[in-house]
């Protein structure tokens, strides 16, 4: 090998060494870490016109549709110590007056969550002709005179939307719960017959009682024991003359239901919700000698010390 070839080989090896040296130097000095030496500046963005926070409106208050212009209420207590259940007349109940009567509030009050009036009762004071207490409305055609009533010939109609909200258990019979009467047509001896026959009491039997029994709605309607009974014997109010015949309208449970009672000459038409009406039309109705008035509310059929019932009415109307 001559001197020129040796020099060329030397140059090539030198170039390789130089390249290797550069790779090592620059490779060691470079880094994959791209994090800047200083933290980035954080800029707050302030909205000069923020949207206002609007709270949810409170739920609307709901009230029952009941006009007390022709109703008085009987309570299960005797706070005035006169020996009879306390009563409040239409003039005291109308225009939301019942809401301001402290003695009434525990027994008849609004539930504004579902638009009902609650009727609460328990065994305490009862009327003269009954063993049972009630928080119950009594119809007054004349708001100031309970002696003014109506006959089947005049007729009348009562419609209500209601439910049994709660009732005590009956541990002393085969029933699960105590019974409660939620509607009535009650009989009363007319003033004319009182004067003619000299009766000392105008009390008559209930022509119709609508019972809630273990969730089933029952009608108890007065019927003559002997259909041939006539004259003044018809005014005998005892069970020897008038007895109950019954009809089961079916299960309503603790849910709201609508019920309509239509009374006319010799006829009662009873309708649950939109079902086919059940009709009573018989000799006993034709001969019914009493005048009448509607009742609605909570008439608890128990004297058990622990008994109670809550009945709700959402609406109640009467027409004649």
CATH number of the CATH domain containing 229: 2.60.120.200
For residue range 108-148, what is the model confidence (pLDDT) as tens digits?
999 999 999 999 999 999 988 899 999 999 999 999 999 99
Question: Averaged over 288-299, what is the pLDDT?
Answer: 98
Residue 138 tokens read as: 């009594």
φ, ψ for residue 45, nearest 5 deg:
-100, 115
Identify the domain containing residue 248 by its residue range: 117-132+145-319
The helix (H) or strand (E) run that includes residue 173 is none
For residue range 241-250, what is the model confidence (pLDDT) as tens digits?
999 999 999 9
Domain contains 167:
yes
66, 67, 71, 77 alpha-carbon torsion, rounded to 10°: 50
Domain contains 218:
yes
pTM score, two decimals?
0.83
Domain contains 11:
no
Domain contains 65:
no
Instruction: Give the integer Cα–Cα distance in Å for 288 and 266.
Output: 8
Radius of gyration of the chain (CA): 42
For residue range 182-210, what is the model confidence (pLDDT) as tens digits?
999 999 999 999 999 999 999 999 999 99
Q: In sequence order, what are the residues at sequence separation of 6 or more whose Cβ sits closer than 8 angstroms to the Cβ of residue 26?
A: none
CA quadruple 167, 170, 171, 175: dihedral positive or negative? negative
Domain contains 252:
yes
Which residue shows structure tokens 């009945």?
Answer: 311
Beta-sheet pairing, 71-74 with 87-88: antiparallel
**How many domains does the structure of the chain reveal?**
1
């Amino acid at each position: 090998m001559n001197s020129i070839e040796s020099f060329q080989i030397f140059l090539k090896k030198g170039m390789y060494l130089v390249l290797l040296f550069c790779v090592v130097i620059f490779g060691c000095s470079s880094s994959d870490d791209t994090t800047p030496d200083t933290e980035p500046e954080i800029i707050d963005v302030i909205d000069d016109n923020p949207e206002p926070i609007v709270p949810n409106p409170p739920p609307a208050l709901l009230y029952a549709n009941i006009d007390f212009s022709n109703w008085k209420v009987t309570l299960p207590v005797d706070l005035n110590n006169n020996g009879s259940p306390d009563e409040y007349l239409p003039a005291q109940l109308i225009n939301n007056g019942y809401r301001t009567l402290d003695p009434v509030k525990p027994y008849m009050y609004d539930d504004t969550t579902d638009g009902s009036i609650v009727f609460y009762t328990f065994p305490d004071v009862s009327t003269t002709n009954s063993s049972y207490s009630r928080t119950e409305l009594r119809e007054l055609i004349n708001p100031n005179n309970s002696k003014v009533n109506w006959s089947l010939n005049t007729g009348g109609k009562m419609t209500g939307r209601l439910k049994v909200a709660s009732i005590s258990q009956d541990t002393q019979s085969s029933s699960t719960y105590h019974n409660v009467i939620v509607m009535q047509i009650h009989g009363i001896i007319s003033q004319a017959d009182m004067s003619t026959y000299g009766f000392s009491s105008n009390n008559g039997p209930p022509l119709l009682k609508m019972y809630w029994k273990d969730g089933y709605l029952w009608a108890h309607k007065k019927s003559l024991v002997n259909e041939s009974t006539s004259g003044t014997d018809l005014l005998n109010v005892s069970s020897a003359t008038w007895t109950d015949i019954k009809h089961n309208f079916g299960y309503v449970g603790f849910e709201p239901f609508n019920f309509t009672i239509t009374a006319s000459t010799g006829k009662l038409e009873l309708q649950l919700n939109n079902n086919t009406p059940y009709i009573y039309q018989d000799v006993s109705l034709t001969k019914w000698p009493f005048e009448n008035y509607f009742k609605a509310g909570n008439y608890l059929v128990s004297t058990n010390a622990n008994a109670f019932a809550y009945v709700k009415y959402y609406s109640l109307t009467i027409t004649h």
